[in-house]
Amino acid sequence: MIKLIELPYSYSSLEEAIDAKTVEIHYEKHHKGYKDNLLKLISGTKYEDWDVEKIMMNSNTIDDSIKTAVKNNAGGVLNHNLYWEVLSPKPKNKPEGELLKLIDRDFGSFENLKSKLIDNAKSRFGSGWTFLVVNSEDKLEVCGTANQDSPIYDGKKPILGIDVWEHSYYLRYQNRRLEYLENLIEKILNWDAVEKIYSKI
């Protein structure tokens, strides 16, 4: 069963950082498009009953004729589910507890982590993503991927994802990617959600 996250907020409620039209098109056209494509690709195949996590964890076993397309679209579904999950009109602006301790350990400070996220996202050439992940050594790491690639394919567990495709910001920000990133991180990124995702991995 391939599922899109149900948005726990309205399209207009992220206006402080992202306009309503962008959220609507991004969710209903782009994100849903990945789901529809994935369903088309796997329908009638032995992967039909797999959920998106299973598809991604076992992507190397998928038939070569559809492997790349399945990976691209499964990544599109999962990356966007994570993106919507960590945004909120009423965000908790700073992590605390266990997650904050790890951030201090692995980045020096929360401010350093935010700079790293912005630097990674700002320097992505073309379309892609910036993630905060837990790597195979159980350390936090900032990493980026191109297109709809997922850190899962490199054995990393993403706990925060920022969409850096132009479709996520172009209507309001045009070429001003940095302004989109700063507004997203300062105004609608919800560390409560990131803590919850971290606690479940």
User: Where on the chain is the footprint of Mn ion (CB under 5 A)?
Assistant: 30, 163, 165
Measuring CA to CA, which residue among 108, 28, 39, 102 is closest to residue 70? Answer: 39
Of 33 and 97, nearer to Mn ion (C-beta) is: 33
- The nearer residue to Mn ion, 47 or 84, going by C-beta atoms, is 84
Query: Which CB sits closer to Mn ion, 85 or 163?
Result: 163
Q: Which residue is nearest to Mn ion (CB)?
A: 163
Torsion angle of the four alpha carbons 176, 181, 183, 189, in this order, in degrees rounded to the nearest 10: 160
| Residues whose CB is less than 8 angstroms from the CB of residue 82 and which lie 6 or more positions away in sequence, other chains included | 158, 160, 161, 197
CB of 78 to Mn ion, least distance (A): 12
Q: Which is nearer to Mn ion, 47 or 165 (CB)?
A: 165
CB of 134 to Mn ion, least distance (A): 23
* Secondary structure (3-state) at 81: helix
CB 36 to Mn ion: min, Å: 15
* Whether the Cβ atoms of residue 177 and residue 152 lie closer than 8 Å to each other: no
